[in-house]
């Protein structure tokens, strides 16, 4: 049964991971937690589900639309809010407040536009499981885990091996200097928002397929945020490790201690990390977090 619980935990952690990397990317570049990130995932899920159910699009096309759409919404946030705040040289705190505002706005907009009901993706994959002895792994979980792994490897490649990654790393280490060296910082910030938004879009669709699509879906990003603090804010690898850690922790606490303590223990972990190891597992520098 422990093995089955570990499988359950990894499958939960995978979805947190896609969201957590988005937090990490934006934090590493701009030094703030993008609270609207979860709502980008939620809107991505709605784009996906409406494309499939209302517009009768083929599933793959709907997913692409959701991913690109979520990326564009993320860029939209950057353009209408964050960029202006940066251009005004306002404190980082303003970015976070703007992000909270966007988050609430999107969530309420979704209630008005899409209605408060839960929506279910039509079953693309049959509900079934791959059986290995007494263990069973859901088909959808296998597919999502595959997607998560491919995306994370791709992201890793993008950051470590490409000019894009180099520019982002330069900009995140010192934006002013990077700009002086001829890097078009605004362009790269926009690209990072697109990337983070697309990742949120994938996770939104996967989450929606696994569970349901509803206006408060974005709240799951809180767990992803904790995961990225756990792994070290700003570190993409840390975010992935942190997300898997949180997924496993939650499952094991639910299974072996008490379901009621699940969130309590997760949040105690958050506080403990902030107090005793503010850099998280893999973070580089100590900065103000949250």
Partner 1 sequence: MKESKGDKNRMKSFSKRLSVLLVVLLALSMLAGCASEAAPAAGETTEASEPAVEPIVIGYVGALSGETAVWGQAGMNGMELTAKEINDAGGILGRPIEVIGLDGKGDPIDSVNAYKKLVSQGAIAVVGTNFSSCNIPMAAVAGQMEVPVIATAASNPLVTVDENGNLHPYSFRIGFIDPFQGKVLAAFAKEELQAMNAAVIMDLNSDYSAGVTEFFVGAFEEKGGEILTIVEAQSGQNDFRAQLSKIAPLDPDVILVPWIYKDVALIANQARELGIDAIFLGADGWDSKELITMAGPALEGCYYTSQPSFANPVTKPYYDAYVEMFDGLVPETEALFGHDGLYWIKDAIERAGEVDIAKLRDELETTTGFAGLLGDLTVDPATHNPDKSVSVYQIKDNMQEFVGEFRP
Comparison of 131 and 163: residue with beta carbon closer to partner 1: 131
Scan residues 82-111 and list those touching partner 1 (CB under 8 A). Answer: 111
277 part of the interface to partner 1, by CB under 8 A: no
From residue 249 to residue 268, the character string flagging contacts with partner 1 as x (rule: CB under 8 A) and all else as - is: -xxx-xx--xxx-x------
Nearest to partner 1 of 5, 237 (CB atom): 5
Of 138, 204, 218, 234, which one interacts with partner 1 (CB under 8 A)?
138
Query: What is the C-alpha separation between 288 and 143, in angstroms, rounded?
Result: 37
Minimum Å gap between C-beta 216 and partner 1 is 7
Binding mask 11-50 for partner 1 (x = CB under 8 A): xx--------------------------------------
Residues paired with residue 119 on neighbouring β-strands, in sequence order: 213
Contacts of 147-151 with CB under 8 Å at 24 or more apart are 147/202, 147/206, 148/14, 148/15, 148/17, 148/18, 148/206, 151/18, 151/199, 151/202
What 3-state class would DSSP assign to 213? Answer: strand
Q: How far apart are CA 66 and CA 64, in angstroms?
A: 5
Using CB under 8 A as the binding rule, whether residue 54 contacts partner 1 is answered as no
Cβ atoms of 94 and 81 closer than 8 Å: no
Nearer to partner 1, 78 or 250 (CB): 250
- Select the residue interacting with partner 1 from 4, 92, 156, 237 (CB under 8 A): 4
Residues 133, 134, 163, 271: which binds partner 1 (CB under 8 A)?
134
Residue whose entry in the numeric block shows the structure tokens 């994959």: 125
- CB closer to partner 1 out of 44 and 283: 44
Report the candidate in 87, 88, 81 with the shortest Cα–Cα distance to residue 105: 81
253-to-172, 227, 246 alpha-carbon distances in Å: 36, 16, 10
Q: What is the full DSSP assignment across 91-150?
A: -HHHHHHHHHHHHHHHHHHHHHHH-SS-B----SS-S-EEEETTEEEEHHHHHHHHHHHH
Touching partner 1, residues 194-233 (CB under 8 A)? 210-212, 214, 216, 220
| 76, 256 contact by CB (below 8 A) | no
Under the criterion CB under 8 A, does residue 131 sit at the interface with partner 1?
Answer: yes
Under rule CB under 8 A, residue 1 binds partner 1: yes
Give the nearer residue to partner 1 in terms of CB position, either 126 or 182: 126
Residue among 67, 59, 28 at smallest CA distance from 192: 28
Q: In the bound complex, what is the minimum distance in angstroms from residue 109's beta carbon to partner 1?
A: 13
- Would you tell me which residues interact with partner 1 (CB under 8 A)? 1, 4-5, 8-9, 11-12, 111, 116-118, 120, 123, 127-129, 131, 134, 136, 138-140, 210-212, 214, 216, 220, 250-252, 254-255, 258-260, 262
């Amino acid at each position: 049964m422990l093995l089955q619980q570990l499988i359950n935990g990894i499958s939960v952690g995978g979805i947190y991971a896609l969201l957590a990397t988005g937090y990490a990317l934006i934090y590493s570049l701009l030094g703030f937690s993008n609270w609207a990130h979860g709502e980008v995932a939620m809107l991505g899920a709605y784009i996906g589900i409406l494309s499939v159910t209302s517009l009768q699009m083929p599933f793959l096309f709907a997913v692409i639309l959701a991913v690109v759409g979520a990326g564009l919404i993320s860029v939209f946030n950057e353009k209408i809010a964050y960029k202006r705040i940066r251009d005004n040289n306002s404190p980082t705190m303003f970015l976070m407040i703007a992000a909270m505002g966007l988050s609430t706005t999107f969530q309420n907009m979704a209630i008005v536009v899409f209605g408060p009901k839960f929506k279910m993706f039509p079953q693309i994959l049959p509900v079934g499981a791959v059986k290995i002895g007494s263990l069973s792994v859901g088909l959808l979980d296998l597919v999502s885990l595959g997607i998560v792994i491919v995306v994370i490897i791709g992201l890793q490649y993008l950051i470590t091996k490409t000019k894009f990654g180099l520019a982002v790393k330069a900009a995140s280490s010192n934006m002013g200097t990077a700009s002086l060296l001829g890097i078009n910082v605004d362009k790269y910030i926009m690209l990072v928002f697109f990337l983070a938004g697309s990742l949120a879009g994938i996770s939104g669709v996967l989450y929606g397929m696994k569970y349901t699509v509803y206006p408060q879906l974005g709240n799951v990003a809180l767990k992803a945020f904790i995961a990225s603090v756990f792994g070290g804010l700003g570190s993409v690898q840390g975010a992935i490790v942190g997300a898997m850690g949180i997924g496993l922790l939650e499952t094991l606490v639910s299974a072996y201690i008490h379901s009621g303590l699940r969130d309590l223990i997760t949040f105690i972990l958050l506080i403990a990390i902030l107090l005793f190891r503010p850099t998280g597992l893999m973070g580089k520098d100590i900065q103000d977090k949250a």
